[in-house]
């Protein structure tokens, strides 16, 4: 019997179809400036990296989350998405959005969260039972920077283009970043 977080064959095949995987930068990739890293050097499948800086999320004056124990998911063409441990998140401000789920080919099935004040607007997600490679993300939350003031250290992050993705753009990353029209298969 397969475990709950076993990756189905059809999904393994889908993973292998990506053209860009961090092994070679495409000609349209920006050259990183001094102190920058190209998101085109990130691997696919993504890398899970422990973050040294403080990661924080604010809704106006309310601190929704703050930690020095976050993970960053680094995937080809994407600025990082940050995952904060549940004990660093003010879960009293959040509610699960019933029946809203999605499947990430790398991490598994996601549950979506909303602010109690706007219970239908997804603003965060989590993985209760991620695929084995990403088990460290269990009991962690990731936030859409489009809706909050999100910080990596003292730098305010900018949201990744598009409404689907939730990468946090900071000055130390060179793009272009997936999310603009026509970038769906990057």
Query: What domains are there in the chain, each with its CATH number?
Result: 37-174 (2.170.150.40)
Instruction: Count Cβ atoms within 10 A of the Cβ of residue 65 and give its class: 0-12 exposed, 13-18 middle, 19 or more buried.
Output: buried
How would residue 4 be classed by pLDDT, with cut points 50, 70 and 90?
low
pTM of the model: 0.93
Residue 102 has a pLDDT of: 93
b/e code 88-125 from CB counts within 10 Å (16+ = b): bbeeebbeebeeeeeebbbbbebbbbbbeeeeeebbbb
Task: Average the pLDDT over 22-44 and give the result.
Answer: 96
Residue 2 has a pLDDT of: 42
């Amino acid at each position: 019997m397969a475990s709950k977080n076993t990756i189905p064959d059809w999904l393994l095949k889908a993973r292998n179809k990506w053209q860009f995987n961090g092994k070679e930068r495409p000609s349209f990739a920006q050259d990183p400036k001094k102190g920058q890293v190209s998101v085109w050097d990130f691997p696919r499948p993504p890398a899970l990296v422990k973050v040294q800086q403080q990661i924080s999320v604010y809704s106006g004056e309310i601190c929704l989350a703050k930690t020095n124990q976050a993970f960053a998911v680094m995937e080809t063409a994407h600025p990082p998405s940050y995952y904060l441990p549940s004990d660093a998140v003010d879960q009293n401000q959040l509610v699960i959005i019933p029946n809203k789920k999605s499947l990430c080919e790398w991490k598994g099935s996601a549950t979506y969260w909303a602010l109690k004040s706007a219970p239908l607007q997804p603003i965060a997600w989590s993985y209760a039972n991620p695929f084995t490679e990403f088990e460290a993300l269990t009991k962690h939350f990731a936030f859409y920077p489009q809706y909050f003031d999100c910080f990596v250290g003292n730098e305010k992050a900018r949201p990744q283009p598009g409404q689907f993705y939730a990468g946090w753009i900071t000055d130390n990353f060179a793009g272009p970043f997936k999310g603009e029209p026509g970038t769906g298969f990057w």
